[in-house]
């Protein structure tokens, strides 16, 4: 059964006006959750030199998830990511990514996502719709997520977990640097795969 416990098989959007029945145990998860950065990751994968993938992550991020079991369409997400925390495992490459050719972290230190809506895709799968801002460019982004469940940890914290991803074209946010290869093609692909593995703690 899905996060918000619909007892029919409808894949209507979460903000539908149709009446729904909510599993009380899952409705009890309603509240505001703070993302736990120590147990969450925001990563990316990009094709390099047309033949392999470079993977990295942003290690400094914060955000909140607000789940509303009685009105699921009102659920929301807000995430801020520090660009300077980018980590691909290679210091020189990370420095290039922080610089003016790519993110220009000194002038634009934060990448942010603000949700504007949500849809149920069936089962435990959802789509969060919102706006992604990079370098003062704001464009729509949809993130497909799967609800991994809830638990109370040994310290008494109520946790929820999600994982999922999205694909973007970095050029849509002004990240256009590239270099041509002698054999054809370019050094860095325009398409970037984003991955999210989120653990969040009930805070209110």
CATH value at residue 174 = 2.40.128.110
* Segment 149-152 long-range contacts (CB within 8 Å, at least 24 positions apart): 150/29
Residue 90 counted as domain residue? yes
Lowest mean pLDDT among 69-78, 92-101, 153-162: 69-78
Number of domains in the chain: 1
The confidence score (pLDDT) of residue 117 equals 94
**Residue that the structure tokens 């919102």 belong to:** 130
The confidence score (pLDDT) of residue 10 equals 34
The confidence score (pLDDT) of residue 172 equals 98
Mean pLDDT value of segment 63-70: 87
Sort residue 50 into left (φ over 0), alpha (ψ -120 to 50) or beta: left
pLDDT at 194 over 50: yes
Mean pLDDT value of segment 162-167: 97
Let me know if 130 is exposed, middle or buried by CB neighbors in 10 A (0-12, 13-18, 19+).
buried
pLDDT at 21 over 70: no
Residue 85 counted as domain residue? yes
Lowest mean pLDDT among 5-19, 109-123, 180-194: 5-19
The confidence score (pLDDT) of residue 46 equals 97
Residue 52 counted as domain residue? yes
> From CA 141, how far away is CA 168, in angstroms rounded?
8
Range of the domain at 65: 24-202
Residue 9 counted as domain residue? no
What is the distance of C-alpha 60 from the center of its chain?
Answer: 14
pLDDT at 5 over 80: no
The confidence score (pLDDT) of residue 6 equals 35
Q: pLDDT-derived band of residue 22, with 50, 70 and 90 as boundaries?
A: low
Alpha carbon separation from 41 to 87, 129, 155, 177, 197 (Å, rounded): 12, 19, 21, 26, 5
Residue 179 counted as domain residue? yes
pLDDT at 144 over 80: yes
Q: pLDDT-derived band of residue 27, with 50, 70 and 90 as boundaries?
A: confident
Residue 108 counted as domain residue? yes
Residue 11 counted as domain residue? no
Residue 7 counted as domain residue? no
């Amino acid at each position: 059964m899905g996060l918000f416990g619909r007892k029919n098989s409808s894949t209507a959007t979460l903000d539908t006006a149709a009446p729904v029945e909510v599993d009380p145990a899952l409705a009890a998860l309603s509240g505001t959750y703070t993302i736990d950065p120590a147990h969450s990751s925001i990563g990316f994968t990009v094709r390099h030199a047309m033949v392999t993938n470079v993977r990295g992550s942003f290690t400094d991020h914060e955000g909140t998830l607000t789940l509303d079991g009685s009105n699921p369409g009102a659920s929301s997400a807000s995430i801020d990511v520090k660009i300077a925390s980018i980590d691909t495992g290679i210091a020189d490459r990370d420095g290039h990514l922080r610089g003016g050719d790519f993110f220009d972290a000194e002038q634009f230190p934060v990448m942010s996502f603000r949700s504007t809506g949500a849809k149920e895709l069936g089962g435990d799968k959802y789509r969060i719709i919102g706006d992604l801002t990079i370098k003062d460019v704001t464009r729509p982004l949809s993130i497909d997520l799967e609800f991994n469940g809830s638990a109370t940890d040994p310290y008494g914290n109520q946790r929820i977990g999600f994982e999922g991803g999205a694909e973007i074209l970095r050029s849509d946010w002004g990240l256009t640097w590239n270099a041509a290869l002698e054999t054809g093609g370019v050094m860095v692909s325009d398409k970037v795969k984003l991955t999210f593995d989120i653990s969040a703690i009930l805070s209110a």
